[in-house]
Amino acid sequence: MRYKHTFPPVYNEQSRLLILGSFPSVASREQQFYYGHPQNRFWRLLAALCGEATPQTVEQKKALCLMHGVALWDVIESCEIEGSSDSSIRDVAVNDLTPILTQCRIREIYANGSTAWRLFQRYQRERIGRDAVKLPSTSPANAAWSFDRLEEAWQVIEDDLL
């Protein structure tokens, strides 16, 4: 089935790093916000790296990002996907990253997981003339990575946080 990304990116003029996912999961599409699956470790991880409490509401999550210079979006604007399975993604149309990149001083682009990174490389890198750093996925499907191991790998974003 074909789905369209239906919620906007998170950013403001203070955003200094852009974290890209692939496409929202079923839980995220239902919540209309990023990393909505209760087992996704993104919010706990970002809060730990920022030295903050883990946000619980969408408003708290947005505030955490904006307070620390984090922009969020996904590589894909629409695609065919089965459930939340990145491996089922087909017939991709990509988001236009230009608004974030022109309105913010993004120092670095990070891809949350291999699929986001691969899709960025394929559809975005040449278009925007910038590369992305591949980080291990915070998805519950990436069970091989413990929270501590994820936190160690994701520490590379700390220099870009406000």
Q: DSSP string covering 36-95, please? A: -STT--HHHHHHHHHT-PPP-SHHHHHHHHHHTTEEEEESEEEEE-STT-GGG-EEEEE-
pLDDT 10s digits, 15-32: 999 999 999 999 999 999
pLDDT 10s digits, 141-156: 899 999 999 999 999 9
Number of domains forming the structure of the chain = 1
The mean per-residue pLDDT over the stretch 83-97 comes to 91
pTM of the model: 0.96
* Residues assigned a catalytic role: 40
pLDDT 10s digits, 5-17: 999 999 999 999 9
Range of the domain at 110: 2-160
Q: Is the pLDDT of residue 101 over 90?
A: yes
pLDDT 10s digits, 55-73: 999 999 999 999 999 999 9
Task: Output the pLDDT for position 43.
Answer: 98
- The Cα 141–Cα 115 span in angstroms is 12
CA of 150: how far to CAs of 35, 38, 44, 76, 95, in Å? 15, 17, 11, 24, 27
Residue 75: CATH number of its domain:
3.40.470.10
